[in-house]
Amino acid sequence: MTGCLPPHPGLVGGPVYLDYNATTPVDPRVAEAIHPYLADWFGNPSSSHPYAAAPKHALARARAQVAALIGAEAGEIVFTGSGSEADNLALRGAVLTAKNDLPHVITQVTEHPAILETCRALERLHGTEVTYLPVDGDGLVDPAALAAALSERTVLVSVMAANNETGALQPIAELARITRAHGALFHSDTAQAAGKVPLNVRELGVDLLTVVGHKMYAPKGIAALYVRQGLALEPLVYGGGQEHGLRAGTENVALAVALGTAAELATAELADGTPGRIAVLRDCLHRCLADALPGRVHLNGPSTGRLPNTLNVSIDGALGHELLSAAPGLAASTGSACHSGTHTPSPVLTAMGLDADRALGALRLSLGRWSTLEDIETAVTALLKAAAAL
């Protein structure tokens, strides 16, 4: 399917883009699908006159398309404005609905800030106790540690399906089984995993699951939360009762159509082997760097059991941000954050036990739908030149 894709117009003439985990280009087929709902079919889907018919049908179809990607029912999909909002709705909604004066939540130290900051807010504002599970050298949660942390007050466990920096895939089905056997709910943020690896909410055994549009070739500003049928949550936004009463406000039909179209394209790619093609390119990138810099290139995260598009490596003797600054023809991310001119190592990598030098040397190179062998060759050349210069 994607092997015959024309070049993406937004990528032509620019640096090689290896930052798909940060955001993806909007697929032209997605852009084409949403145009009528911006230009012609503008009606409010909650209205009862003819102008509402097309938007109402489009909203229902988009809900079914997202549901099909993750093995859910259409009625279990709630559209939100972002992955962060979906995560907030899952965590805060579950805690405030729980009949528990001292609710307990469990997550892990390498979660996305949307989860970690929501947990801290629940601690601060609602007296919620939160347990932050450690991870091993591959960035994985130990199921035995989760089992030991569960208590009779545990309301919810939230563990992301795939780490955005290393691509490490958590054992979600096992973690969810342990959690639900204990009587608690399980949520997973699958922002990075959806569309890259198969996901089925029934097989995983999750109660709540987040899908994010701009990580799978839809525009920013649209996401969805799977809410298992019959599960009650306290809403984040109150008002007219849209989205099953969980997210009031007139629906953004165009962006819902975008997410639905993106989900349908992702479903087709999972069937036609596109993730395998991308994994071949990722491994070629890794091998070329390692062969050219023997003994200096170190993989961060698991060698198997990770996203097919993600490569996180450190190069001895070079800082990640310096490498990218010296390689202007490459757009990628580092393993550090810059605050007031000072670079600090990634909390994800340090939680995995990496020392500061190796964490600061990390590069996150993430591939996607439009990545080509020519891109890999260009990226390798740029990085080797930068490493030599430094």
Give whole-number Cα distances, 90 to 2, 15, 123, 223, 312, in Å. 34, 37, 16, 13, 29
Distance CA 191, CA 224 (A): 10
Greatest alpha-carbon pair distance for the chain in Å reads: 68
Does the annotation mark 338 as catalytic?
yes
Residue type (1 letter), 85: E
Query: For 151, how many CA atoms within 13 A lie in the half-sphere containing its CB?
Result: 11
Nearest 10 degrees: CA dihedral of 227, 30, 196, 115?
-40
Distance CA 73, CA 230 (A): 12
User: Three-class SS of residue 47?
Assistant: coil
Give whole-number Cα distances, 173 to 160, 170, 217, 337, in Å. 12, 9, 26, 32
Q: Do 5 and 370 form a contact (C-beta atoms < 8 A)?
A: yes
Q: How far is CA 327 from the centre of its chain?
A: 27
Sign of the Cα pseudo-torsion (179, 183, 189, 192, in order) = positive
Phi, psi of 206 (to 5 degrees): -90, 155
From 4, 119, 284, 338, the catalytic residue: 338
Residue 32: Cβ within 10 Å count:
10
Instruction: Name the token pair of 376.
Output: 């890999």
Distance CA 7, CA 107 (A): 40
- The secondary structure of 70-107, three-state, reads HCCCHHHEEEECCHHHHHHHHHHHHHHHCCCCCCEEEE
Give whole-number Cα distances, 156 to 106, 116, 117, 206, 381, in Å. 6, 14, 15, 11, 47
**Nearest to residue 225, comparing CAs of 183, 190, 264?**
190
Give whole-number Cα distances, 44 to 250, 251, 275, in Å. 7, 8, 37
Q: Which residues does the annotation mark as catalytic?
A: 338
